[in-house]
């Protein structure tokens, strides 16, 4: 059987692959500590789950509007007014089956064959492959790790060609946990304006920031660029609703309607009763988030401290999301039981095989020489897992 060109250039998601591999080993009885999963370890708050159950029991089990339930779109619009300090209307909001689906739809609607989309590295694994699925060309631009993974404006300018159509921003970032500064965003915005680009700003971790100070975002910094800004958000990370598949896009209505046309010919509405749960999530009490954030904050400090105590490992304190992204380059020249480590991919394999610790290699995030550890896990797992990592490093020749 012949498979289409489009799927042949796309690779399976590395984050999902590591998570599944760790889960399989656990199911087979191995005591694996998994830092793979990019999802909260908290259950969805009960008031959200009961709203979903009640809706299902009361008959919200049929198809619903392709754009999303009007009440959910209104709730998102209101929440976005609070986040971004700009007015939002229902017509500017689309509900999709997870932020991943929102992004997919946006790339499909915005990218023509051969169009170039700039993606700062390290990036979340799915952006380049989604651009390729739209037959576009991902153009990777480095950030400056020593300066908190700040976007390198000179590199950004150098990457622009007549085929460049857009740029992806993601802060707090997956995999680095880095948070962009308002100043850096304003510099990026200037380039965007000069070259008439659109910007997808993936703000899915905006509620998970641990340091003082307001949220910096291109729409907040430059509301005058609003027509070219596409916000992607969702319920997965904020409310621990990863399995519910609820994602949001906010953009100009013409784009929202094109994305809805695509959705209407592919997935239709996302799960109707899950949307009722999402309404309860957005409109309900957010008190639980304070507790979760306090837990993530304590864990990020501990994991960073423990990682930095391993010789050859350097980790910056992440400002948001729930990922630590240490630089492990000094370990790559070493050997384990006579085998050269060589790459972060091999290091991740050896750690899983010999130390029963699952980490995601940096290479699929466009950052060879780094590994990603999700600290959306217990403090005990952090102590145990990073302890095993340290023990593994002690055994290197
Ligand atoms: N963007 C980023 C940066 C992410 O880390 C994720 C989580 N996988 C998503 C989007 C999509 O999440 P979901 O599809 O669960 O909403
Ligand atoms: N975003 C999460 C991660 O990066 C979940 C997995 C995925 O959707 O790729 O691990």
The DSSP result for 9-50, as a single string, is T----HHHHHHHHHHHHHHTT--PEE----S-SSPPPHHHHH
d(CA 295, CA 306): 16
Q: What is the DSSP letter of 209?
A: B
Q: What is the pLDDT of residue 334?
A: 96
Please name which of 130, 138, 93, 98 lies closest in space to residue 114, comparing C-alpha atoms: 138
Ligand 1 pocket mutation pick from 174, 180, 206, 374 by most atoms within 8 angstroms of CB: 174
Pairing of strands 164-170, 357-358: unpaired
pLDDT number for residue 217: 98
What pTM, to 2 d.p., does this model score? Answer: 0.97
Q: For the chain, how many helices (H) and strands (E)?
A: 14, 15
HEC sequence for 278-326: HHHHHHCCCHHHHHHHHHHHHHHHHHHHHHHCCCCCECCCCCECCEECC
CB within 6 Å of ligand 1 — which residues?
38, 98-100, 124, 170, 174, 202, 204, 234, 236, 242, 247
Determine if ligand 2 sits within 6 Å of the CB of residue 236: no
Q: What pLDDT, on the 0 to 100 scale, is given for residue 17?
A: 83
* Ligand 1 atom closest to Cα of residue 15: 8
Q: Please list the ranges in the chain whose pLDDT falls under 70.
A: none
pLDDT digits (tens, 9 = 90+) for 213-272: 999 999 999 999 999 999 999 999 999 999 999 999 999 999 999 999 999 999 999 999
| 168 Cα to the center of ligand 1, angstroms | 14
Q: How many residues does the chain have?
A: 397
Q: How many CB atoms lie within 10 A of CB 132?
A: 20
Ligand 2 touching residue 148 (CB < 6 A): no
Q: Does the Cβ of 99 fall within 6 Å of ligand 2? A: no
Ligand 1: nearest atom to the Cα of 170: 3
Two tokens, residue 42: 């908290």
| Encoded tokens for 53 | 């159950």
Would you say 116 and 134 are in contact if contact means Cβ atoms under 8 Å apart?
no
94's enclosing H/E stretch is strand 93-96
Distance 325 CA to ligand 2 centre (A): 15
Q: Which one of 18, 125, 177 would you pick to mutate in the ligand 2 pocket, going by the greatest count of ligand atoms within 8 A of its CB?
A: 125
């Amino acid at each position: 059987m012949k498979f289409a060109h489009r799927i042949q250039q796309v690779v399976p998601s590395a984050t999902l692959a590591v998570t599944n591999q760790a889960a399989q080993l656990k199911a087979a009885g191995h005591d694996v500590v998994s830092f793979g999963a990019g999802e909260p370890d908290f259950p969805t708050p009960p008031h959200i789950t009961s709203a979903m159950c009640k809706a299902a029991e009361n008959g919200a089990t049929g198809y619903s509007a392709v754009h999303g339930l009007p009440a959910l779109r209104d709730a998102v619009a209101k929440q976005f007014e609070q986040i971004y300090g700009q007015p939002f209307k229902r017509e500017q909001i689309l509900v999709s089956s997870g932020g991943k689906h929102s992004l997919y739809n946006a790339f499909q609607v915005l990218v023509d064959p051969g169009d170039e989309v700039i993606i700062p590295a390290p990036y979340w694994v799915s952006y380049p492959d989604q651009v390729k699925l739209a037959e576009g060309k991902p153009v990777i631009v480095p950030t400056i790790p020593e300066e908190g993974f700040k976007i390198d404006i000179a590199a950004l300018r150098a990457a622009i060609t007549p085929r460049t159509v857009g740029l992806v921003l993601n802060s707090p970032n997956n995999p680095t946990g880095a948070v962009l500064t308002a100043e850096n965003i304003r510099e990026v915005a200037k380039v965007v304006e000069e070259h008439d680009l659109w910007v997808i700003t993936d703000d899915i971790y905006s509620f998970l920031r641990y340091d003082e100070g307001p949220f910096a975002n291109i729409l907040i910094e430059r509301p005058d660029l609003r027509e070219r800004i596409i916000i992607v958000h969702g319920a997965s990370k904020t409310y621990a609703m990863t399995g519910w598949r609820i994602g949001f896009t906010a953009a100009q209505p013409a784009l929202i309607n094109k994305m809805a046309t695509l959705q209407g010919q592919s997935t239709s509405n996302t799960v109707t009763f899950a949307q009722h749960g999402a309404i309860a999530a957005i409109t309900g009490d957010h008190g639980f988030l304070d507790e979760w954030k306090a837990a993530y904050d304590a864990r990020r400090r501990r994991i960073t401290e423990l990682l930095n105590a391993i010789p050859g490992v350097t980790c910056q304190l992440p400002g948001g999301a729930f990922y630590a992204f240490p630089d492990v380059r000094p370990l790559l020249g070493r050997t384990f039981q006579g085998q050269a480590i060589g790459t972060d991919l091999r290091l991740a394999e050896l750690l899983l095989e010999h130390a029963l610790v699952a980490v995601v290699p940096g290479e699929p995030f466009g950052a060879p020489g780094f590994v990603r550890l999700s600290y959306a896990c217990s403090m005990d797992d952090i102590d145990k897992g990073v302890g095993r990592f340290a023990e593994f490093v002690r055994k290197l020749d």
